[in-house]
Structure 1
Protein backbone atom coordinates (compact mmCIF):
# COMPACT_ATOMS: atom_id res chain seq x y z
CA UNK A 1 0.00 0.00 0.00
CA UNK A 2 1.11 3.54 -0.79
CA UNK A 3 0.58 6.36 1.69
CA UNK A 4 1.43 9.92 0.62
CA UNK A 5 1.24 12.48 3.39
CA UNK A 6 1.76 16.22 2.93
CA UNK A 7 3.92 15.68 -0.15
CA UNK A 8 5.32 18.85 -1.69
CA UNK A 9 7.81 19.28 -4.50
CA UNK A 10 9.28 22.66 -5.33
CA UNK A 11 11.57 23.56 -8.21
CA UNK A 12 13.40 26.82 -8.74
CA UNK A 13 13.32 28.29 -12.24
CA UNK A 14 15.37 31.44 -12.29
CA UNK A 15 13.73 33.67 -9.71
CA UNK A 16 10.48 31.69 -9.73
CA UNK A 17 9.53 28.81 -7.41
CA UNK A 18 7.33 26.17 -9.03
CA UNK A 19 5.09 24.11 -6.74
CA UNK A 20 4.86 20.87 -8.75
CA UNK A 21 3.13 19.17 -5.80
CA UNK A 22 1.47 21.13 -3.04
CA UNK A 23 0.51 19.17 0.06
CA UNK A 24 -0.64 15.94 -1.58
CA UNK A 25 -2.34 13.32 0.60
CA UNK A 26 -3.21 10.07 -1.14
CA UNK A 27 -3.73 6.40 -0.29
CA UNK A 28 -3.38 3.71 -2.95
CA UNK A 29 -4.39 0.25 -1.79
CA UNK A 30 -2.83 -2.98 -3.01
CA UNK A 31 -4.43 -3.98 -6.30
CA UNK A 32 -5.84 -0.51 -7.08
CA UNK A 33 -6.12 0.68 -10.67
CA UNK A 34 -5.82 4.45 -10.64
CA UNK A 35 -5.56 7.02 -13.44
CA UNK A 36 -3.95 10.43 -12.98
CA UNK A 37 -5.13 13.20 -15.29
CA UNK A 38 -4.63 16.95 -15.52
CA UNK A 39 -3.19 19.77 -17.62
CA UNK A 40 0.40 19.89 -18.81
CA UNK A 41 2.62 21.10 -16.00
CA UNK A 42 0.02 20.29 -13.36
CA UNK A 43 2.17 17.76 -11.53
CA UNK A 44 1.12 14.39 -13.05
CA UNK A 45 4.55 13.10 -13.96
CA UNK A 46 6.05 14.50 -10.75
CA UNK A 47 3.52 12.48 -8.75
CA UNK A 48 4.42 9.33 -10.70
CA UNK A 49 8.12 9.95 -10.10
CA UNK A 50 7.46 10.17 -6.36
CA UNK A 51 5.58 6.85 -6.43
CA UNK A 52 8.43 5.26 -8.35
CA UNK A 53 11.19 6.60 -6.14
CA UNK A 54 12.66 8.45 -9.12
CA UNK A 55 12.53 11.75 -7.25
CA UNK A 56 12.29 12.81 -3.62
CA UNK A 57 9.76 15.23 -2.14
CA UNK A 58 10.78 18.60 -0.79
CA UNK A 59 8.70 17.73 2.26
CA UNK A 60 6.24 15.06 3.32
CA UNK A 61 6.47 11.28 3.04
CA UNK A 62 5.88 8.65 0.37
CA UNK A 63 5.63 5.22 1.98
CA UNK A 64 5.34 1.88 0.20
CA UNK A 65 4.43 -1.03 2.47
CA UNK A 66 5.43 1.06 5.47
CA UNK A 67 8.82 2.15 4.12
CA UNK A 68 9.35 5.85 3.46
CA UNK A 69 10.98 5.93 0.02
CA UNK A 70 12.37 9.42 0.61
CA UNK A 71 14.30 8.20 3.63
CA UNK A 72 16.16 5.41 1.83
CA UNK A 73 19.73 5.57 0.63
CA UNK A 74 20.19 5.74 -3.13
CA UNK A 75 21.41 2.15 -3.28
CA UNK A 76 18.48 0.82 -1.26
CA UNK A 77 16.04 2.87 -3.32
CA UNK A 78 17.50 1.32 -6.47
CA UNK A 79 16.90 -2.12 -4.96
CA UNK A 80 13.26 -1.31 -4.18
CA UNK A 81 12.69 -0.08 -7.73
CA UNK A 82 14.33 -3.20 -9.17
CA UNK A 83 12.32 -5.57 -7.02
CA UNK A 84 8.91 -3.97 -6.57
CA UNK A 85 8.20 -1.36 -9.26
CA UNK A 86 7.79 -1.71 -13.01
CA UNK A 87 7.79 1.33 -15.32
CA UNK A 88 6.25 1.87 -18.76
CA UNK A 89 6.88 5.11 -20.64
CA UNK A 90 5.43 6.84 -23.68
CA UNK A 91 8.69 6.55 -25.63
CA UNK A 92 9.15 2.77 -24.99
CA UNK A 93 12.83 3.28 -23.98
CA UNK A 94 14.00 0.07 -25.66
CA UNK A 95 17.67 -0.48 -26.51
CA UNK A 96 17.72 -0.47 -30.34
CA UNK A 97 20.63 -2.92 -30.71
CA UNK A 98 19.04 -5.59 -28.48
CA UNK A 99 16.35 -8.08 -29.50
CA UNK A 100 12.94 -8.09 -27.83
CA UNK A 101 14.03 -10.94 -25.57
CA UNK A 102 17.30 -9.23 -24.66
CA UNK A 103 15.49 -5.97 -23.87
CA UNK A 104 13.19 -7.80 -21.48
CA UNK A 105 16.10 -9.63 -19.89
CA UNK A 106 17.72 -6.32 -18.91
CA UNK A 107 15.17 -5.94 -16.10
CA UNK A 108 16.39 -9.16 -14.50
CA UNK A 109 20.13 -8.44 -14.58
CA UNK A 110 20.11 -6.21 -11.42
CA UNK A 111 18.30 -9.00 -9.58
CA UNK A 112 21.11 -11.46 -10.22
CA UNK A 113 18.93 -13.90 -12.18
CA UNK A 114 21.05 -16.47 -14.00
CA UNK A 115 21.19 -16.51 -17.80
CA UNK A 116 19.03 -19.57 -18.46
CA UNK A 117 16.29 -18.38 -16.12
CA UNK A 118 16.46 -14.85 -17.56
CA UNK A 119 15.89 -16.19 -21.06
CA UNK A 120 13.01 -18.40 -19.99
CA UNK A 121 11.29 -15.66 -18.00
CA UNK A 122 11.74 -13.11 -20.79
CA UNK A 123 10.23 -15.51 -23.33
CA UNK A 124 7.30 -16.17 -21.01
CA UNK A 125 6.73 -12.44 -20.45
CA UNK A 126 6.76 -11.75 -24.19
CA UNK A 127 4.31 -14.57 -24.79
CA UNK A 128 1.99 -13.04 -22.17
CA UNK A 129 1.77 -9.83 -24.25
CA UNK A 130 1.27 -11.67 -27.53
CA UNK A 131 4.85 -11.52 -28.82
CA UNK A 132 5.94 -15.12 -28.39
CA UNK A 133 6.98 -15.23 -32.06
CA UNK A 134 8.98 -12.00 -31.91
CA UNK A 135 11.72 -12.89 -29.45
CA UNK A 136 14.61 -12.22 -31.84
CA UNK A 137 13.25 -9.10 -33.52
CA UNK A 138 14.95 -5.74 -32.96
CA UNK A 139 12.82 -2.73 -31.96
CA UNK A 140 13.27 -1.23 -35.44
CA UNK A 141 11.64 -4.32 -36.93
CA UNK A 142 8.47 -3.88 -34.88
CA UNK A 143 5.52 -1.47 -34.91
CA UNK A 144 4.97 1.08 -32.17
CA UNK A 145 2.34 -1.10 -30.55
CA UNK A 146 4.66 -4.11 -30.58
CA UNK A 147 7.49 -2.06 -29.08
CA UNK A 148 5.20 -0.96 -26.26
CA UNK A 149 4.28 -4.60 -25.65
CA UNK A 150 7.99 -5.36 -25.28
CA UNK A 151 8.27 -2.48 -22.81
CA UNK A 152 5.32 -3.87 -20.83
CA UNK A 153 6.91 -7.33 -20.79
CA UNK A 154 10.17 -5.78 -19.55
CA UNK A 155 8.32 -3.96 -16.76
CA UNK A 156 6.50 -7.09 -15.59
CA UNK A 157 9.10 -9.82 -16.09
CA UNK A 158 10.52 -9.20 -12.62
CA UNK A 159 7.04 -9.73 -11.16
CA UNK A 160 6.76 -6.35 -9.45
CA UNK A 161 4.09 -5.32 -7.01
CA UNK A 162 3.49 -1.97 -8.69
CA UNK A 163 3.19 -0.93 -12.35
CA UNK A 164 3.58 2.79 -13.11
CA UNK A 165 2.76 3.95 -16.63
CA UNK A 166 3.42 7.47 -17.92
CA UNK A 167 1.33 8.14 -21.06
CA UNK A 168 1.82 4.53 -22.27
CA UNK A 169 -0.47 5.05 -25.27
CA UNK A 170 0.57 8.62 -26.10
CA UNK A 171 2.50 7.65 -29.26
CA UNK A 172 -0.12 5.20 -30.57
CA UNK A 173 -3.18 5.47 -32.81
CA UNK A 174 -6.64 4.84 -31.35
CA UNK A 175 -6.87 1.20 -32.41
CA UNK A 176 -3.43 0.34 -31.06
CA UNK A 177 -4.16 2.35 -27.91
CA UNK A 178 -7.14 0.11 -27.19
CA UNK A 179 -5.07 -3.03 -27.79
CA UNK A 180 -2.37 -1.87 -25.38
CA UNK A 181 -4.93 -0.96 -22.72
CA UNK A 182 -6.52 -4.40 -23.08
CA UNK A 183 -3.09 -5.94 -22.47
CA UNK A 184 -2.41 -3.73 -19.43
CA UNK A 185 -5.83 -4.32 -17.86
CA UNK A 186 -5.58 -8.09 -18.44
CA UNK A 187 -2.18 -8.27 -16.79
CA UNK A 188 -3.32 -6.03 -13.93
CA UNK A 189 -6.20 -8.40 -13.20
CA UNK A 190 -4.18 -11.60 -13.62
CA UNK A 191 -1.17 -10.53 -11.59
CA UNK A 192 -2.92 -8.52 -8.86
CA UNK A 193 -0.83 -5.44 -9.61
CA UNK A 194 -1.21 -1.99 -8.17
CA UNK A 195 -1.52 -0.01 -11.42
CA UNK A 196 -1.13 3.77 -11.65
CA UNK A 197 -1.29 5.44 -15.06
CA UNK A 198 -0.83 9.05 -16.14
CA UNK A 199 -2.75 9.98 -19.28
CA UNK A 200 -4.15 12.97 -21.18
CA UNK A 201 -6.72 10.67 -22.78
CA UNK A 202 -10.17 11.32 -21.30
CA UNK A 203 -11.57 8.14 -22.85
CA UNK A 204 -9.10 6.10 -20.79
CA UNK A 205 -9.60 8.17 -17.66
CA UNK A 206 -13.36 7.55 -17.69
CA UNK A 207 -12.81 3.80 -17.51
CA UNK A 208 -10.72 3.90 -14.35
CA UNK A 209 -12.14 2.70 -11.01
CA UNK A 210 -10.31 5.65 -9.39
CA UNK A 211 -9.44 8.94 -11.02
CA UNK A 212 -7.03 11.50 -9.58
CA UNK A 213 -7.16 14.94 -11.14
CA UNK A 214 -4.16 17.13 -10.46
CA UNK A 215 -3.99 20.87 -11.12
CA UNK A 216 -1.29 23.24 -9.90
CA UNK A 217 0.07 20.53 -7.64
CA UNK A 218 -3.21 19.83 -5.84
CA UNK A 219 -5.26 16.68 -6.27
CA UNK A 220 -8.91 15.70 -6.36
CA UNK A 221 -9.81 12.02 -6.06
CA UNK A 222 -12.94 10.60 -7.65
CA UNK A 223 -13.88 7.14 -6.47
CA UNK A 224 -15.72 4.59 -8.56
CA UNK A 225 -15.45 6.46 -11.86
CA UNK A 226 -17.38 4.77 -14.66
CA UNK A 227 -15.51 1.62 -15.58
Structure 2
Protein backbone atom coordinates (compact mmCIF):
# COMPACT_ATOMS: atom_id res chain seq x y z
CA UNK A 1 0.00 0.00 0.00
CA UNK A 2 1.12 3.54 -0.77
CA UNK A 3 0.61 6.23 1.84
CA UNK A 4 1.54 9.80 0.91
CA UNK A 5 1.40 12.43 3.64
CA UNK A 6 1.98 16.13 3.02
CA UNK A 7 4.18 15.43 -0.01
CA UNK A 8 5.72 18.64 -1.34
CA UNK A 9 8.26 19.00 -4.11
CA UNK A 10 9.89 22.35 -4.83
CA UNK A 11 12.14 22.98 -7.82
CA UNK A 12 14.05 26.18 -8.47
CA UNK A 13 14.09 27.94 -11.83
CA UNK A 14 16.73 30.54 -11.26
CA UNK A 15 15.72 32.24 -8.02
CA UNK A 16 12.04 31.39 -8.41
CA UNK A 17 10.68 28.33 -6.51
CA UNK A 18 8.22 26.11 -8.39
CA UNK A 19 5.90 23.97 -6.27
CA UNK A 20 5.39 20.86 -8.42
CA UNK A 21 3.59 19.16 -5.52
CA UNK A 22 1.98 21.09 -2.70
CA UNK A 23 1.06 19.00 0.33
CA UNK A 24 -0.32 15.88 -1.36
CA UNK A 25 -2.14 13.34 0.82
CA UNK A 26 -3.00 10.09 -0.99
CA UNK A 27 -3.61 6.43 -0.20
CA UNK A 28 -3.40 3.71 -2.86
CA UNK A 29 -4.42 0.25 -1.70
CA UNK A 30 -2.66 -2.93 -2.81
CA UNK A 31 -4.15 -4.07 -6.10
CA UNK A 32 -5.70 -0.67 -6.71
CA UNK A 33 -5.87 1.11 -10.04
CA UNK A 34 -5.46 4.88 -10.25
CA UNK A 35 -5.28 7.22 -13.22
CA UNK A 36 -3.57 10.60 -12.81
CA UNK A 37 -4.70 13.51 -15.00
CA UNK A 38 -4.04 17.23 -15.13
CA UNK A 39 -2.65 20.04 -17.26
CA UNK A 40 0.92 20.10 -18.52
CA UNK A 41 3.21 21.25 -15.73
CA UNK A 42 0.61 20.45 -13.08
CA UNK A 43 2.75 17.86 -11.30
CA UNK A 44 1.64 14.53 -12.85
CA UNK A 45 5.10 13.26 -13.77
CA UNK A 46 6.56 14.50 -10.50
CA UNK A 47 3.96 12.52 -8.56
CA UNK A 48 4.73 9.40 -10.60
CA UNK A 49 8.45 9.86 -9.95
CA UNK A 50 7.76 9.98 -6.21
CA UNK A 51 5.72 6.77 -6.41
CA UNK A 52 8.47 5.12 -8.44
CA UNK A 53 11.25 6.07 -6.00
CA UNK A 54 12.90 8.08 -8.79
CA UNK A 55 12.89 11.32 -6.77
CA UNK A 56 12.54 12.40 -3.16
CA UNK A 57 10.05 14.90 -1.73
CA UNK A 58 11.18 18.25 -0.41
CA UNK A 59 8.82 17.65 2.53
CA UNK A 60 6.36 14.96 3.58
CA UNK A 61 6.60 11.18 3.24
CA UNK A 62 6.00 8.60 0.53
CA UNK A 63 5.55 5.19 2.13
CA UNK A 64 5.35 1.87 0.30
CA UNK A 65 4.30 -0.97 2.59
CA UNK A 66 5.20 1.17 5.59
CA UNK A 67 8.70 2.05 4.36
CA UNK A 68 9.46 5.74 3.87
CA UNK A 69 11.06 5.80 0.42
CA UNK A 70 12.44 9.29 0.89
CA UNK A 71 14.55 8.21 3.86
CA UNK A 72 16.22 5.23 2.18
CA UNK A 73 19.82 5.38 0.92
CA UNK A 74 20.19 5.27 -2.86
CA UNK A 75 21.33 1.63 -2.80
CA UNK A 76 18.08 0.58 -1.10
CA UNK A 77 15.99 2.69 -3.47
CA UNK A 78 17.68 0.99 -6.42
CA UNK A 79 16.75 -2.37 -4.91
CA UNK A 80 13.11 -1.32 -4.42
CA UNK A 81 12.88 -0.19 -8.05
CA UNK A 82 14.56 -3.36 -9.33
CA UNK A 83 12.39 -5.76 -7.34
CA UNK A 84 9.03 -4.12 -6.70
CA UNK A 85 8.23 -1.50 -9.36
CA UNK A 86 7.76 -1.90 -13.10
CA UNK A 87 7.83 1.13 -15.41
CA UNK A 88 6.21 1.68 -18.82
CA UNK A 89 6.89 4.90 -20.75
CA UNK A 90 5.34 6.68 -23.72
CA UNK A 91 8.53 6.38 -25.79
CA UNK A 92 8.99 2.62 -25.05
CA UNK A 93 12.68 3.15 -24.05
CA UNK A 94 13.83 -0.05 -25.77
CA UNK A 95 17.48 -0.58 -26.68
CA UNK A 96 17.48 -0.55 -30.51
CA UNK A 97 20.33 -3.04 -30.96
CA UNK A 98 18.82 -5.71 -28.68
CA UNK A 99 16.13 -8.21 -29.62
CA UNK A 100 12.74 -8.21 -27.90
CA UNK A 101 13.88 -11.04 -25.65
CA UNK A 102 17.15 -9.33 -24.79
CA UNK A 103 15.34 -6.07 -23.99
CA UNK A 104 13.08 -7.91 -21.56
CA UNK A 105 16.03 -9.71 -20.02
CA UNK A 106 17.62 -6.38 -19.05
CA UNK A 107 15.07 -6.04 -16.24
CA UNK A 108 16.28 -9.31 -14.72
CA UNK A 109 20.00 -8.51 -14.71
CA UNK A 110 19.85 -6.45 -11.44
CA UNK A 111 18.09 -9.39 -9.77
CA UNK A 112 21.01 -11.71 -10.48
CA UNK A 113 18.99 -14.20 -12.54
CA UNK A 114 21.38 -16.17 -14.72
CA UNK A 115 21.52 -17.44 -18.29
CA UNK A 116 18.88 -19.99 -19.20
CA UNK A 117 16.49 -19.03 -16.39
CA UNK A 118 16.62 -15.38 -17.46
CA UNK A 119 15.97 -16.26 -21.10
CA UNK A 120 13.07 -18.52 -20.20
CA UNK A 121 11.42 -15.94 -17.95
CA UNK A 122 11.78 -13.27 -20.65
CA UNK A 123 10.28 -15.58 -23.28
CA UNK A 124 7.33 -16.34 -21.01
CA UNK A 125 6.74 -12.63 -20.40
CA UNK A 126 6.70 -11.93 -24.15
CA UNK A 127 4.32 -14.84 -24.69
CA UNK A 128 1.98 -13.31 -22.09
CA UNK A 129 1.72 -10.09 -24.13
CA UNK A 130 1.19 -11.90 -27.44
CA UNK A 131 4.74 -11.70 -28.80
CA UNK A 132 5.89 -15.28 -28.37
CA UNK A 133 6.82 -15.45 -32.06
CA UNK A 134 8.80 -12.18 -32.06
CA UNK A 135 11.52 -12.98 -29.54
CA UNK A 136 14.36 -12.42 -32.00
CA UNK A 137 13.10 -9.18 -33.55
CA UNK A 138 14.82 -5.86 -32.79
CA UNK A 139 12.61 -2.80 -32.09
CA UNK A 140 13.02 -1.44 -35.63
CA UNK A 141 11.31 -4.59 -36.95
CA UNK A 142 8.27 -4.12 -34.71
CA UNK A 143 5.26 -1.79 -34.90
CA UNK A 144 4.67 0.85 -32.24
CA UNK A 145 2.09 -1.32 -30.53
CA UNK A 146 4.43 -4.30 -30.55
CA UNK A 147 7.25 -2.20 -29.11
CA UNK A 148 4.97 -1.13 -26.28
CA UNK A 149 4.09 -4.77 -25.65
CA UNK A 150 7.81 -5.50 -25.32
CA UNK A 151 8.09 -2.62 -22.85
CA UNK A 152 5.16 -4.02 -20.85
CA UNK A 153 6.75 -7.47 -20.82
CA UNK A 154 10.00 -5.90 -19.59
CA UNK A 155 8.13 -4.13 -16.78
CA UNK A 156 6.33 -7.29 -15.66
CA UNK A 157 9.01 -9.96 -16.18
CA UNK A 158 10.42 -9.37 -12.68
CA UNK A 159 6.91 -9.90 -11.21
CA UNK A 160 6.68 -6.52 -9.49
CA UNK A 161 4.12 -5.42 -6.96
CA UNK A 162 3.55 -2.04 -8.65
CA UNK A 163 3.18 -1.05 -12.31
CA UNK A 164 3.66 2.64 -13.15
CA UNK A 165 2.81 3.84 -16.65
CA UNK A 166 3.53 7.34 -17.99
CA UNK A 167 1.34 8.04 -21.07
CA UNK A 168 1.72 4.42 -22.29
CA UNK A 169 -0.65 4.99 -25.24
CA UNK A 170 0.54 8.49 -26.14
CA UNK A 171 2.43 7.37 -29.27
CA UNK A 172 -0.27 4.98 -30.54
CA UNK A 173 -3.28 5.38 -32.80
CA UNK A 174 -6.79 4.89 -31.42
CA UNK A 175 -7.20 1.21 -32.29
CA UNK A 176 -3.79 0.31 -30.90
CA UNK A 177 -4.47 2.46 -27.83
CA UNK A 178 -7.51 0.33 -27.04
CA UNK A 179 -5.54 -2.90 -27.55
CA UNK A 180 -2.79 -1.80 -25.20
CA UNK A 181 -5.28 -0.65 -22.55
CA UNK A 182 -7.12 -3.97 -22.71
CA UNK A 183 -3.80 -5.74 -22.29
CA UNK A 184 -2.77 -3.58 -19.32
CA UNK A 185 -6.17 -3.96 -17.65
CA UNK A 186 -6.06 -7.72 -18.13
CA UNK A 187 -2.57 -7.99 -16.67
CA UNK A 188 -3.58 -5.78 -13.72
CA UNK A 189 -6.40 -8.17 -12.85
CA UNK A 190 -4.41 -11.34 -13.56
CA UNK A 191 -1.40 -10.41 -11.44
CA UNK A 192 -3.12 -8.34 -8.74
CA UNK A 193 -0.87 -5.37 -9.49
CA UNK A 194 -1.11 -1.92 -8.02
CA UNK A 195 -1.51 -0.05 -11.32
CA UNK A 196 -0.97 3.72 -11.56
CA UNK A 197 -1.04 5.54 -14.87
CA UNK A 198 -0.61 9.11 -16.08
CA UNK A 199 -2.64 9.99 -19.18
CA UNK A 200 -4.01 13.00 -21.05
CA UNK A 201 -6.68 10.78 -22.63
CA UNK A 202 -10.05 11.31 -20.92
CA UNK A 203 -11.52 8.18 -22.53
CA UNK A 204 -8.87 6.12 -20.75
CA UNK A 205 -9.37 8.00 -17.48
CA UNK A 206 -13.08 7.15 -17.50
CA UNK A 207 -12.21 3.45 -17.48
CA UNK A 208 -10.39 3.64 -14.14
CA UNK A 209 -11.99 3.04 -10.73
CA UNK A 210 -10.16 6.05 -9.26
CA UNK A 211 -9.05 9.32 -10.84
CA UNK A 212 -6.54 11.69 -9.27
CA UNK A 213 -6.73 15.15 -10.82
CA UNK A 214 -3.69 17.28 -10.14
CA UNK A 215 -3.61 21.04 -10.64
CA UNK A 216 -0.92 23.38 -9.38
CA UNK A 217 0.48 20.61 -7.22
CA UNK A 218 -2.83 19.82 -5.48
CA UNK A 219 -4.56 16.45 -5.87
CA UNK A 220 -8.28 15.70 -5.88
CA UNK A 221 -9.39 12.05 -6.01
CA UNK A 222 -12.77 10.92 -7.36
CA UNK A 223 -14.22 7.41 -7.42
CA UNK A 224 -15.87 5.82 -10.46
CA UNK A 225 -18.12 2.97 -9.33
CA UNK A 226 -19.06 2.07 -12.92
CA UNK A 227 -15.47 1.60 -14.17
CA UNK A 228 -14.15 -1.80 -15.14
Q: If the TM-score is normalised by the length of the shorter chain, which range does it land in?
A: over 0.9
The corresponding residue for 2:48 is 48
Q: CA deviation at 1:8?
A: 0.1
Q: Does the CA-based 8 Å contact 1:8-1:60 persist in structure 2?
A: yes
State the 1:225 CA deviation. Answer: 5.2
Aligned to 1:87: 87
Q: 1:41, CA displacement in angstroms?
A: 0.3
- The residue aligned with 1:58 is 58
1:102 paired to 2:107: no
Secondary structure (helix, strand or coil) at the match of 2:204 reads: helix
Count of aligned pairs = 227
Native 8 Å contact 1:206 1:226 kept in 2: no
SS, match of residue 158 in structure 1: coil
| Cα distance in structure 1, aligned partners of 2:214 and 2:226 | 19
1:222 matched residue in structure 2:
222
C-alpha offsets along residues 181-223 of structure 1, whole Å, 9 cap, x if unaligned?
A: 0110000000000000000000000110000000000000001
Root-mean-square deviation over aligned CA pairs? 0.6
CA-to-aligned-CA distance 1:65-121 (integer Å, 9 cap, x gap) = 010000000001000000000000000000000000000000000000011111000
1:139 aligned residue: 139
Q: Matched residues in 2 for 1:160 and 1:101: separation?
A: 18
Structure 1's consecutive aligned runs of 4 or more residues displaced over 4 angstroms after TM superposition are: none
Please tell me whether residue 2 in structure 1 is matched to residue 2 in structure 2: yes
* 1:26 equivalent in structure 2: 26
Q: What SS is found at the alignment partner of 1:104?
A: helix
Q: What does residue 209 of structure 1 align with? A: 209
Q: Say yes or no: does 1:69 pair with 2:64.
A: no
Please name the residue that 2:116 is paired with: 116
Report the CA distance between 1:15 and its aligned residue: 2.2
Alpha-carbon distance in 1 for matches of 2:189, 2:113: 26
Taking the aligned partners of 2:129 and 2:143, their CA distance within structure 1 comes to 14
TM-score normalised by L of structure 2:
0.99
Following superposition of structure 1 onto structure 2, how do residues 166-185 of structure 1 map, counting pairs within 5 Å?
Answer: 166-185=166-185
CA deviation map 1:135-164 (0-9, x unaligned)? 000000000000000000000000000000
> Residues 151-162 of structure 1: matches in 2 within 5 Å?
151-162=151-162
Relative to the length of structure 1, the TM-score reads 0.99
The residue number in structure 1 matching 2:163 is: 163
Query: Which residue of structure 2 lines up, in the alignment, with residue 39 of structure 1?
Result: 39
Stretches of structure 1 that go unaligned for 5 or more consecutive residues are: none
Shift of 1:16: 1.4
SS at match of 1:168: coil
Structure 2 gaps of 5+ residues are: none
Mapped to 2, the partners of 1:61 and 1:224 lie a distance apart of: 27
